[in-house]
Amino acid sequence: MEFDFNTYVKKLVKKDEIDKYSKELDTIKEKFYHGLNELCWYDMNKYVDNKELKKMLNLASELRRISDVILIIGIGGSSMGAQALIQAMSSYFKKSKPEIIFVGTDLSSEYLIDLQHYLKEKDVSINVISKSGDTMEVLTVFELFQSWMYKKYSEEEVRRRIIVTTSSYDGKLAYYATKHEYHKFHIPNIISGRYSILTPATLLPMALAGLDIVSFLKGAKEGRMYLNQAGLYAMLRRIFFDQGKVIEGFAIYEPKLSKFVEWSKQVFAESEGKEHKGILPIKLIYTRDLHSLGQFIQEGNPIVFETVISIDRTRTFKVDKYQETLSNINHTVEKSVCQAHLDGGCPTLIIKIGGLDEHSFGELAMFFMMSAAMSSYLFHVNPFDQPGVTKYKEIVGQSLRNL
């Protein structure tokens, strides 16, 4: 990975602003070395079990062999990481075999009815994921398809085709797994959902999609070497907030990163958005959004700063008009836009990964999780709880009980 936190920031950050947070940041970094339970995802050896990893790979291979479609049923941290990585490393147009379809992220009856019609003549397997085991959206969709599976297959075949991933021993999913003898994988209870990208919640769907989870985990482990850069990134975000820049635009020039930005939005928003604090993350897909939001960023209310996720190497071809590859043209536009937005008062932080591969995304995932945790500490909020999410779930639950 490469970082440029200087070229398109320049004089917008003063030395005294950096000095204000430097000592506090040093103290925050120490948390990563002291083995805090909440930061256990930082120490790979605490939760990546080789025996479970082998079981995961074997089951994934079997389900890939017998399935036309695999449904991944989950929401939030139980789904977004897998969606991000599978999209980033998949073809735009060629359907995978088996096809991976994500459900449980909404309650659209229109979508689910169409999906059942689509699956009618296909062999289907399911990986259902919920850390608590009781997430309303996930359970609603899973119970629908669990019933559908028993109408389609024998009990023995359904047992072969359903995998439960949960951290709970008393949630509804754990109950189903025990009752029906489904295969089960464990999410460490101490790890918040949005930080579970290095657990079976994401690793199993990746394996089901045919991705190299060993390389991904190796990249994440090596990504820990960027703790200092992650701290600098967190500090600059805090400084920009102090300057009145309360919105961060995650800008990408490769649409395959669209879901990855959605995962990044969740990690930052759910971690630091508490006590009326935090930065609002938004997604910018360039060059498309240069023709809309770009106008606001360049000349509108100066409340935005940008973080560009850049890719060093992509497949490409030569554009005769410019006697240059399209990838280099894309990078030229990227740098030109950074300069234009800086001229308009919008600073840009650049994070560059090597390519669209598992190792690179392992590094990037670790970088963003370290940054989000440190950024939350700089806002003096707990990076690992989500009281607002818990509150909405309580209200929805009560409303459903009153139906």
Distance CA 79, CA 94 (A): 22
Which is nearest to 67 in space by CA: 161, 180, 184, 206? 161
State the catalytic residue, choosing from 46, 152, 352, 393.
393
State the catalytic residue, choosing from 11, 23, 120, 291.
291
Cα→Cα distances 187→18, 26, 104, 121, 389, Å: 38, 30, 18, 33, 19
Q: Is 291 a catalytic residue?
A: yes
Helices then strands, each counted (H, E), the chain: 15, 12
State the catalytic residue, choosing from 270, 272, 306, 358.
270
Q: Which amino acid is at 152?
A: K
The strand order across the sheet containing 183-186 reads 99-103, 69-73, 124-129, 162-166, 183-186
Q: Is 393 a catalytic residue?
A: yes
Cβ atoms of 211 and 88 closer than 8 Å: no
Written as six digits, the tokens of 181 are 């003898």
Burial 168-206 (b: 16+ CB within 10 A, else e): beebbbbebbeeeebbbbbbbebbbbbbbbbbbbbbbbb
Task: Count the Cβ atoms, other than its own, within 10 Å of residue 155.
Answer: 11
Q: Is 270 a catalytic residue?
A: yes
Pairing relation of β-strands 324-325 and 318-319? antiparallel
Place of tokens 């398109």: 8
Which is nearest to 344 in space by CA: 332, 336, 353, 352? 336
Active site residues: 270, 291, 393
